[in-house]
Structure 1
Amino acid sequence: MPNNDAEATAASLLADFRGRMSALALAQQRRAQLTAVASARGKRVKATVNADGVLIDLKFAPSIDELRPDEIAKAVVAATQEAAAEVARKARELVAPLLDERARLPKFAEMVDGMPDFAAEIPAAPAAPTTPPHAADRITAAERAGAPGFTDVEEPRPSHGVTDSGW
């Protein structure tokens, strides 16, 4: 009889696993179809991003010529970042039920004596900066501490193509 119980438990666990994987695949398909749109500078700039926050469409209102090029550039960045934040919010909302369900399940470490909780050991990835490359918030702690940089770097010579004698 115990063998039948073990087989029934294993079959139930396998069916549950397949159901979860099916729900995850559906959520992934839905997430891939997400987009978000945001506007900036009085709706003169409209940016659309995909589920990965990649700019996929950019539209300018006829009045865009009232803005200077630097204002247009800042508006494009602002609209794109706002749309990316919105699509990220939508994605979190989409997977929230799956994450809630997973949180209710026992952890592997709780089921096996002495097993460490590996999920707790995974370091959190830092958020990527949304500022330009040379902005103050991108300066690393080592750079602030005055860590030495490279000093033996050769300056590139002007190239004249593949026939250059430097080859």
Structure 2
Amino acid sequence: MFAGMREQIQALGAAQRERAELIITGTAAGSRVAVTVNADGEILDVRIEPAASGMSYRQLSVAVTEAAKSAQQQAAQRNAEIFAPFLGAAGRKRKDFADVLADFDEIADMIPGPQPVAVKAPTTEDSTAEVDGTAEGFEETRHRRPGGATDLSW
């Protein structure tokens, strides 16, 4: 019985490590826009190719949203695949597995906890871009913090 539990615990640890390293990129507008997320679906990076320069601000915002949704859906799907072996029918956890293990302190201590997920995107050589012009219908603000969302230097 304990040997089987030990194998499941080790497999759970491996699944948690795989999930912690999960980084997914979704694209839109013919791959001119890419959004990278971690296993939790948190956005790590947004890339807009120079070929997107002919897009309107509205088209660009729609493309960013579509790429983000695509990446988040792919991350959710991959999470489900990673943990499928530990779920019962209809995606429910196996009955009282944690309760059974809680009775065995020496085994419960072996259960790996959740691993922290990636908090930044993999780096690339070209991580800067120039922005020129302003969006129609938006007013320029002079109260900018360097590196913030309104910083046009990125």
TM bucket normalised to smaller = 0.5 to 0.7
> Which residue number corresponds to residue 78 of structure 2?
90
In the superposition, the TM-score normalised over structure 1's length comes to 0.50
> Which residue number corresponds to residue 54 of structure 1?
42
> Which residue number corresponds to residue 17 of structure 2?
29
Q: How does 1:1-167 map to 2 (within 5 A)?
A: 12=1, 14-100=2-88, 107=95
CA shift for structure 1 position 100: 4.9
CA distance in 1, matches of 2:6, 2:73: 32
In the superposition, the TM-score normalised over structure 2's length comes to 0.53
Q: Matched residues, percent identical?
A: 33
State the structure with more CA Rg. Answer: 1
Higher relative CO (Cα under 8 Å, sequence separation at least 6) belongs to 2
CA shift for structure 1 position 15: 3.6
CA distance in 2, matches of 1:100, 1:27: 16
Name structure 1 gaps, 5 residues minimum: 1-11, 109-167
Cα deviations by residue, 1:34-64 (Å, 9 ceiling, x for unpaired): 1211211122101111111111121111122
State the number of aligned residues. Answer: 95
Structure number having the greater helix percentage: 1
Cα deviations by residue, 1:51-101 (Å, 9 ceiling, x for unpaired): 111111211111222111122111111101001111111111111122259
Root-mean-square deviation (Å): 2.5
CA distance in 2, matches of 1:88, 1:39: 16
